[in-house]
Structure 1
Amino acid sequence: MLAALPVAVLLFDDEGLAYANPEARRVVELDATAASSPPHVEAPAVVDAVNRARRTGQAIDCELERDGRQWQVSASPTACGQVGVVITDLTEVRRTDTIRRDFVLNASHELKTPVASIQALADSLRLATERDPARAASMLESLEREAARMSQLVRDLLDLVRLEERTGEEEPAEADLAELVRTQTTRVAQAAAEQGMDLRVDVPDVARVAGSPGDVRIVVANLVDNAVAYNRHGGTVTARVRRAGDEVVLEVSDTGIGISPEDQQRVFERFYRVDPHRSRRAGGTGLGLALVRHAVRRLSGELQLDSTLGQGTTLTVRLPPAPTSVAAPAQPPPP
């Protein structure tokens, strides 16, 4: 029974190691051929915990680090004079704790900024209405902008939690990817035009994909938003949908600032920004690509990033088509 446990278990008697299950032999690197005699344990932390437990008659806990992993060692005396040791891998637990702690810190910081702005603007607005009514309208616009930013951050946080926690089978659903691309590119058309950008849309009449329309909208909206926000003045944004074999492919590309190879490893992390100042000026929450990654996973799709610093970025999403759906041919451009 001990041999089948997923944790490392060892038993020590007066002569040394009396038993080690397969997981223990892996963790402390015991020689499997040494079963006929007590093998030497190459783990000083384990040996020290055993000696202390035998000497004090009490349970001893310590930690062991090996090959970049962290382990908890618990040594306890037994009624028959042996010392039992259980070694548990803490690496994933610690990593999860770090991610959660960083998430709370980042979320608190991101919420603190617009809240502080709203409070300051509210105080200034009260004085302006009394002394300088002409400035009141400008302050109201700033107040609305900060409130909208905070509202968007809260919505993104709720979407992220929903995408991360959703489990089990879901009701069959489908979405028209082509229509969502048309809708989202129309939404950002004015912002793109103000920056002199060329916004190009190449989609079929219909391109149905399997999955929640809300999740597909999250993917399209955030990719289009990023392509505009991180583009250069006078640049080009292209959103394209096509059928490739048994997949429906969405490509959103820009000719903007691009992403360095180092940043490409982290852009899908929550609150990670390649250019924090530019992102905040554009109203970004730092959650866009994290939302895209989780939504694509929920849609059983694939996500690919291709970027060259200073030249632009292309994000490609491959999604399963809705059952029996076929993307309609694209309409020719107007003369």
Structure 2
Amino acid sequence: MTRERLVLLVAGWTLPVLIAALALMAPIQPREAIIIIAVWLGSVGLLSEILWRQSLQPIFTLLGQLNLSSTNQIRQHIHSLQEAADRQQDERKDLSQLLDDISTGLGEGLLVVDADLHLRLCNPRAQHFLGAEKVAIGASFLDLERDPDIVAGIRDAVAGKSGQRILVENSRGVWELRPFPLSQGGAVVLVTEVGPLRRAAELRRQFVQDLSHEIRSPLTVMRTTVEALEDEVSPDIAGMLVRQVERITRLTDELYELASIEAGTLKMETTRQSVGPVVRQVASDFAAVAFRAEVDLRLDFPEDFAFDFDTRALTRVLSNLVDNAVKYNRPGGWVRISAKRLEGTAQIEVEDSGLGIPAPELGAVLQRFYRVDRARTPGAGGLGLGLAIVKHMVQLMGGDLKLDSREDVGTRVTVSFPVGPESAA
């Protein structure tokens, strides 16, 4: 019972009770009646003061701060507050409906959980991943999915870690989950079915491998035939035919190597050896091409420079880099192959004075089938696989690749490989 109600009861019943009690004892004298009335009036006054201080005074103070001095103003203010609350409620409903529409229309699954792994959002695609026809918001994710890798990944995202990719397989397909932390706590999880994509990629790799394999035999016959005709046709025509056969052979080899890399069937056999023979062999292979293009090939490396590498892979890496450096150069230009040891790594650089790569395209040239604007390099063939193969082969040998280029100045590609104490030369 509040203090106001207690005082009200006391004040309201004091006078009747006193009068009734005294009436039973003896007739009430005027003086006694005056005392009783005074006590009652005091109780009522005390009640009014308490009510004013506890209830009415804060209300009138607030109304004064709001500049509300009349009943009509108070009514209008309450009405405006109600309208604002209704608008906010409508906006929340619209936002919630928009979020539902977006999440439903996504081709990917979308899960949102709070810090305790209770569901805050689960679109239809995510429900299919969980194998549930309907998921109640607020339900525990652990009641729906108990895969330890998934649970651990989502817990890491709730803890603030991001960028993890989780690959899982269940009766409904092969899925990739990418959990990310939310700034307000919890995590969002993107769920993508990757089974069809993986099957399509595997079919593409198999097709490229089969095609490259089938083309090799006819190319060998063509090359043999062209070489046999060298004495019967002019040297220019014979040279042109040889170059075209070599070009098709190189493209076929690149397709096959890239498919093998992506399929994981390309094996590396690294041994500690000198890089000199490989560099000289590559320079010899491109000497005639560089001569025709009026490009000077320069070598700068110590004879005792050795580290662990796969001969075939490093040969392909340097061949692709030198091929690009000569192809995208200008008459009177140069290409330099250099090697040095720096901070525990063996570094090989292929630098040229060629056309360079536009800055916006630096990140894209390492992607397969990407070629810089053909209008800048008319007549330069290729499928855009050279640098993609270089990147993958360097990574397979445990190395790193760095690309620096300035348009109309030149390009420098640096490949670095770790050198252990036993490889120091």
User: What band does the TM-score fall into relative to the shorter chain?
Assistant: 0.5 to 0.7
1-structure distance, mates of 2:371, 2:332:
23
Displacement after TM superposition at 1:247 (Å): 1.0
Candidates 101, 123, 126, aligned match of 1:43: 123
Q: Could you say which residue in structure 2 is the equivalent of 1:183? A: 281
Q: Does the CA-based 8 Å contact 2:110-2:125 persist in structure 1? A: no
Whether 1:208 aligns to 2:312 is no
Whether 1:31 aligns to 2:129 is no
Whether 1:303 aligns to 2:383 is no
Whether 1:256 aligns to 2:354 is yes
Displacement after TM superposition at 1:292 (Å): 1.0
Q: Does the CA-based 8 Å contact 2:173-2:193 persist in structure 1? A: no
Q: Could you say which residue in structure 1 is the equivalent of 2:19? A: none
TM-score between both structures, scaled by the size of structure 1: 0.60
Q: Could you say which residue in structure 1 is the equivalent of 2:328? A: 230
Structure 2: runs of 5 or more not aligned: 1-108, 136-164, 177-191, 214-225
Whether 1:312 aligns to 2:312 is no
TM-score between both structures, scaled by the size of structure 2: 0.49
Q: Percent identity?
A: 29
Moved more, 136-145 or 170-179: 136-145
Higher strand residue share: 1
2-structure distance, mates of 1:300, 1:95:
28
Q: Does the CA-based 8 Å contact 2:350-2:413 persist in structure 1? A: yes
Displacement after TM superposition at 1:178 (Å): 2.9
* Deviations, residues 73-122 of structure 1 (Å, cap 9, x unaligned): x99xxxxxxxxx999433655665676677789999999xxxxxxxxxxx
Displacement after TM superposition at 1:161 (Å): 3.6
Displacement after TM superposition at 1:323 (Å): 6.1
Q: Which has the higher contact order (CA 8 A, sep 6+)?
A: 1
The residue type paired with residue 313 of structure 2 is D
1-structure distance, mates of 2:194, 2:285:
41
Q: Could you say which residue in structure 1 is the equivalent of 2:80? A: none
Q: Please, what is the CA RMSD of the aligned residues?
A: 4.8
1-structure distance, mates of 2:132, 2:260:
46
Q: Does the CA-based 8 Å contact 1:247-1:319 persist in structure 2? A: yes
Change (3 A) 1:280 1:31: same
* Deviations, residues 119-147 of structure 1 (Å, cap 9, x unaligned): xxxxxx9xxx9xxxx97876555443332
Change (3 A) 1:237 1:144: closer
Structure 1: runs of 5 or more not aligned: 1-25, 54-68, 76-84, 112-124, 328-335
Change (3 A) 1:221 1:151: same
Q: Does the CA-based 8 Å contact 1:175-1:212 persist in structure 2? A: no
Q: Could you say which residue in structure 2 is the equivalent of 1:173? A: 271
Displacement after TM superposition at 1:250 (Å): 0.5
Displacement after TM superposition at 1:318 (Å): 0.5
Change (3 A) 1:259 1:106: farther
Structure showing greater radius of gyration is 2
1:28 alignment partner, SS class:
strand
Change (3 A) 1:268 1:95: farther
1:233 alignment partner, SS class:
coil
Change (3 A) 1:99 1:282: same
Change (3 A) 1:279 1:91: farther
Displacement after TM superposition at 1:166 (Å): 4.0
Displacement after TM superposition at 1:234 (Å): 1.6
Moved more, 220-229 or 283-292: 283-292
Q: Does the CA-based 8 Å contact 2:110-2:126 persist in structure 1? A: no
- Equivalenced residue count is 263
Change (3 A) 1:209 1:46: closer
2-structure distance, mates of 1:28, 1:196:
60
Higher helix residue share: 2
2-structure distance, mates of 1:91, 1:261:
35
Q: Does the CA-based 8 Å contact 2:368-2:384 persist in structure 1? A: yes
Displacement after TM superposition at 1:204 (Å): 0.4
Displacement after TM superposition at 1:243 (Å): 0.9
Q: Could you say which residue in structure 1 is the equivalent of 2:386? A: 288
Change (3 A) 1:272 1:281: same
Q: Could you say which residue in structure 2 is the equivalent of 1:151? A: 249
